[in-house]
């Protein structure tokens, strides 16, 4: 089951929105096999998602069970792809987890992609705009996930590695 880990700063807005929306997108695309998680580089453990984030996802996905958590090595290691919401997040993650650097990207690294701005403490329309921004990037992200999975399978078939460590 391919797993994507979305990482932002506090894990109360962007990354939980991305994880919930990406799973919903994948299901609509017939991909029951895709799993998404989220974490924050500087998260305060246990916080709920922002009320505005809940409202932005209303009718599409739920953040009811979300609790903020800090990114850690086990989360990074079990992810097939780690997506920083900005290039800065991805750079910081590569510095902290160099063995996973080949599996860490940012939304800005995707074709047609861009950093996803932080809506924290802003008005509801900004959260709604963040949702639309994320949803526009998901087709390219799913294609990237599939491309990496196919490449890892080819490597395993050729006996060149175990997939995640050097995909």
Single out the catalytic residue among 8, 13, 80, 131.
Answer: 8
Region of 62 (left: φ > 0; alpha: ψ -120 to 50; beta: rest) is: beta
Single out the catalytic residue among 13, 14, 69, 148.
Answer: 14
Q: Distance between CA atoms of 45 and 70, rounded to whole angstroms? A: 6
Single out the catalytic residue among 55, 67, 87, 118.
Answer: 118
Q: Which residues contact 73 (CB under 8 A, 6 or more apart)?
A: 97
Q: Is 14 a catalytic residue?
A: yes
Neighbours of 135 (CB within 10 A): 16
Q: Is 72 a catalytic residue?
A: no
Q: Is 8 a catalytic residue?
A: yes
* Helix (H) or strand (E) segment spanning residue 107: none
Which positions are annotated as active-site residues?
8, 14, 118
């Amino acid at each position: 089951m391919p797993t994507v880990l979305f990482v932002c700063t506090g894990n109360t807005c962007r990354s939980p929105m991305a994880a919930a929306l990406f799973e919903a997108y994948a299901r609509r695309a017939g991909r029951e096999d895709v799993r998404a998680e989220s974490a924050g580089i500087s998260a305060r453990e246990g916080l709920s998602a922002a009320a505005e984030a809940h409202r932005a996802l209303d009718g599409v996905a739920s953040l009811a069970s979300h609790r903020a958590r800090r990114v850690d090595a086990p989360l990074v290691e079990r992810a097939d792809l780690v997506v920083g919401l900005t290039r800065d997040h991805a750079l910081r993650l590569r510095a902290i987890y160099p063995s996973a650097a080949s599996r860490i990207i940012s939304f800005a690294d995707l074709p047609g992609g861009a950093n996803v701005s932080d809506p924290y403490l802003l008005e509801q329309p900004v959260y709604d705009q963040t949702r639309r921004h994320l949803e526009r990037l998901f087709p390219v992200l799913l294609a990237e996930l599939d491309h990496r999975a196919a490449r890892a399978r080819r490597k395993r078939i050729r006996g060149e590695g175990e997939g995640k460590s050097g995909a």
